[in-house]
Structure 1
Amino acid sequence: MNIQQHPLLSPSIGTQRQLISLHYGQPGRGEKVYLQASLHADELPGMLVLHHLRPLLAQAEAAGRIQGEIVVVPYANPIGLSQSLLHDQMGRFEFNTGENFNRYYTDFAPAIQAGLAGKLTQDAKHNTHLIREAMQQLLQTRQPTTELESLRHVLMSLAFDADVVLDLHCDCEAVLHLYTGTPLWPQCEPLARYLGAHATLLATESGGQPFDEACGQTWWKLAKAFAGQFPIEMACLSVTIELRGERDVNHTLAQQDAAALYAFLCHRGVIDEPVPVLPPLLHPATPLAGSDSLIAPCAGAVVFHRDVGDIIAAGDAIFDVVNPLQGEVVTVTSQTAGVLYARENRRYATAGMSFAKVAGQVPFKTGNLLSA
């Protein structure tokens, strides 16, 4: 294993943070896989999963079974890890700007498309190489001016040329679910099977340029731009893996998830071992635009009728909002049939708060499809 240190831009005199990446295998020998955890720094299950994945990778490397390069970033956000307010870790938004740490990553396609037009050929592999060269050149021209920008730049510089990018997150309370690009579902399905995903949400434009989409969208955008002219591969399977809820930080689940990721690496051929049998797919993929967010219409104490993982029919009662002063109970029902894959872990609602998500099969939303 090769350990690399990546200093971030110093935000103030006498202070500087750094990102650490762990590199297994040999670059250029086969596929490159990139895994990171806790980009939202208060989402900790991924950290523990990568902790349990590391010895598996070390054993595979020692036995010469890694047929490519595997890059692991055990914590992707040293800025957010240091942010606490009144004993609560605040790792989703940067204190200085209020920006979500998982937004505003590089949109390569518009910047590199014109320069590629005269270079692409009928050789898809050659085109993949040219596109990655152009992406690298674009990154090399960028000069971050803040610590947050430098963090985004380092993360993208580590991941832009990967064949597989797995970004480990979690929700408030949830069953395991995935987000990925619609054209990537055929590549993602084995991962959903090994992990036992209860939902996979598909989109080509979810809004806000999250990290996984920034890694994958270049390929489907360029494929559309050059359709009928040049073949463009879907050369990066980029997936956000939501590892259940914030409190699901335990060794049993983490070992289970690490084993599932390892099985997927074997399936991809990055690790030269017998490929584990694919488990059944728990639920089919559904459009992110078909995910229904259930909103509290008024303030009060929240009481759930249904648990995460439940199969929901349209019209089912999902939670009550109780106003003890007025003696009123307002019941919120689902307008969508599907899987209740996530819900809020707080139990007091202010008017307009989103408290539950149901993955439905029929798209009905447009615009920004992700929460803040």
Structure 2
Amino acid sequence: MKRLDHPLLSPSLGSHKTLTSFHFGQPGSGRKIYIQASLHAEELPGMLVAHHLRALFEALEVAGQIQGEIVMVPVANPIGLAQRLDHKPMGRFELDTSENFNRHYPDLAAAVEAAVMNQLGDDAAANVGLVRRAMSDYLQKWTPATELQSLRRTLLLLAHDADFMLDLHCDCEGVLHFYTEEACWPQMQELAHFLGARAILLAKSSGNRPIDECLSGAWWQLADRLKASGRDVPLPQACCSTTIELRGELDVSHALAATDARAIVGWLQFIGVVACQQPPQVPSALCQATPLAGSESLYASSPGVVVFAAEVGQHLEVGELVAEIIDPIANTSQRVNAGVAGVFYARIRDRYITAGGELGKIASAQAFRSGDLLGA
């Protein structure tokens, strides 16, 4: 194992933060896997999973079983991890800009298009190498102006040439669920099943460029532009990414983290990055993949105390009661019912809601939304 410390741009005199990456296996010896945790810094289950993965990867490396390269960033957001307000963690948005730490990554397809489009030929592997070098050149030339930009650049430098990218998050309260782009799903579905995902949400592009889609989206976007130009040039989906929501914020336990870490190693054995005598069988799917555009967000039309009638993981039918909003002053109760049929896969942790606040989400099989599909 090799540890690398990457200094971020200092935002103020006497203030310095560092991003740390751990490297297992040998670069260039096989496929590259990139794993990061807690980019939304208050979402801690992934950080504990990374702790368990490190021990497993160290043992596998000593045994000579890593057939490729694994890069892991267990604390992907030292900026957000240090942010607190009134004793509460504030790790989703940078306080200086109010920007979400997992939005607004660069459009890598647009960044490299001019440099690569006329150079692509008949060799798919050579085309992948050409695009990755162009991405590296672009990122090396990017001069960040802020600490946040330097974090984004550092993460992308570590991840841009990965074959698979796993971004470990969690929800407020929820079951394990799985986001990926449609172009990545054929290569990522086994990972969802190894992890026991209870909801799988697919989109061609969810909008606002989170880091996972920044990396994988560049490949299908370039392929689409080649096709639109009438060029029959092989350009595979060379990076497949996913955001894995490891249940809820309070689901931080060694038992869960060890289970998730073993599931990820089982998938790595299945795809041949970790050597084993007999690759494990893929577990049966616990759910069907559904469109992210079919996910219903439930909102409160009035403020009050939230009393959930539905548990996360529960399958709901249209019209079924999800929650009541109690106003103890007016002595009223607002019923919030499911507008679609599907799995109630996430809900808020707080039990007081203001008017217009989001309460939870249901994954349905029918797409009905368009535009940007992710919340703030």
Regarding TM over 0.5, the answer is yes
Question: Percent identity between the aligned chains?
Answer: 52
Q: Give per-residue Cα distances to partners, 1:180-230, cap 9 Å, x unaligned.
A: 101111111100110000111111221111011111101110111112521
The answer to whether structure 1 residue 278 and structure 2 residue 277 are counterparts is: no
Aligned to 1:52: 52
Cα distance between partner residues in 2 of 1:123 and 1:337: 46
Find the residue that maps to 2:322 and give its secondary structure.
Answer: strand
Residues 135-214 of structure 1 mapped to structure 2, 5 A cutoff = 135-214=135-214
Cα distance between partner residues in 2 of 1:55 and 1:369: 36
Q: Give per-residue Cα distances to partners, 1:61-101, cap 9 Å, x unaligned.
A: 00111111100101001111111111111111111111111
Aligned to 1:349: 353
Superposed displacement of residue 115, structure 1:
2.3
Equivalent AA in structure 2 for residue 134 of structure 1: A
Cα distance between partner residues in 2 of 1:124 and 1:336: 43
Aligned to 1:334: 338
Cα distance between partner residues in 1 of 2:86 and 2:329: 29
Deviation >3 Å, runs of 4+: none
Unaligned 5+ runs, structure 1: none
Equivalent AA in structure 1 for residue 284 of structure 2: P
Cα distance between partner residues in 2 of 1:208 and 1:169: 17
Cα distance between partner residues in 2 of 1:69 and 1:241: 21
Cα distance between partner residues in 2 of 1:158 and 1:111: 17
Residues 250-289 of structure 1 mapped to structure 2, 5 A cutoff = 250-273=253-276, 274-289=278-293
Residues 283-322 of structure 1 mapped to structure 2, 5 A cutoff = 283-322=287-326
Residues 33-72 of structure 1 mapped to structure 2, 5 A cutoff = 33-72=33-72
The answer to whether structure 1 residue 371 and structure 2 residue 345 are counterparts is: no
Unaligned 5+ runs, structure 2: none
Cα distance between partner residues in 2 of 1:157 and 1:17: 17
Equivalent AA in structure 1 for residue 185 of structure 2: W
Cα distance between partner residues in 1 of 2:168 and 2:133: 27
Aligned to 1:25: 25
Cα distance between partner residues in 2 of 1:156 and 1:219: 15
Find the residue that maps to 1:12 and give its secondary structure.
Answer: coil
Cα distance between partner residues in 1 of 2:24 and 2:111: 31
Find the residue that maps to 2:183 and give its secondary structure.
Answer: helix
Aligned to 1:121: 121
Find the residue that maps to 1:226 and give its secondary structure.
Answer: helix
Cα distance between partner residues in 1 of 2:154 and 2:219: 21
Equivalent AA in structure 2 for residue 11 of structure 1: P
Question: Given the two structures, how large is their TM-score scaled by the length of structure 1?
Answer: 0.99
Find the residue that maps to 2:53 and give its secondary structure.
Answer: helix
Cα distance between partner residues in 2 of 1:283 and 1:144: 42
Superposed displacement of residue 31, structure 1:
0.4
Find the residue that maps to 2:302 and give its secondary structure.
Answer: coil
